[in-house]
């Protein structure tokens, strides 16, 4: 029983394309996140979303947009992909529903995105 799952595991695409990564959690958590981990292993938080609000890291380009059909899912859409978007993207969830990041997060297995 995977707690946080992501699909696809690998995604290879051309510059300029639009792509989506899906994330599902079965932990009953209130908040989900998206992270980007670059080649230097820096994990950078991109979004936090719960049933109350979406919080966006101010440094994330607006080509990136999260979509949440329900509490258990948070998908990441990326428009007009660029070479610099190549990275591993992790979804995570936590019980925290206060719009803060003070609670333990559980990470999905990651999606390795390669933009050619």
Strand-pairing partners, residue 93, are: 32, 106
Nearer to other proteins, 14 or 39 (CB): 39
CA distances from 15 to 32, 69, 98, 105 (A): 27, 27, 37, 32
Nearest one of 3, 12, 2, 44 to 111, comparing CA atoms: 12
Shortest distance in whole angstroms from residue 95 CB to other proteins: 13
Nearer to other proteins, 16 or 99 (CB): 99
Shortest distance in whole angstroms from residue 41 CB to other proteins: 5
Report the interface residues with other proteins, using CB under 8 A.
Answer: 40-45, 48, 55, 57-58, 90, 99-102, 104-110
């Amino acid at each position: 029983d995977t707690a946080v799952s992501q699909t696809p595991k690998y995604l290879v695409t051309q510059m300029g394309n639009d792509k989506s990564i899906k994330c599902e959690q079965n932990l009953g958590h209130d908040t989900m996140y998206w992270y980007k981990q670059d080649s230097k292993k820096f994990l950078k938080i991109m979004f936090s979303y719960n049933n109350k609000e979406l919080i966006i890291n101010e440094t994330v380009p607006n080509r990136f947009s999260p979509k949440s059909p329900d509490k258990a899912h948070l998908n990441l859409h990326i428009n007009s992909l660029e070479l610099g978007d190549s990275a591993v993207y992790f979804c995570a969830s936590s019980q925290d529903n206060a719009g803060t990041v003070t609670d333990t997060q559980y990470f999905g297995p990651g999606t390795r995105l390669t933009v050619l």
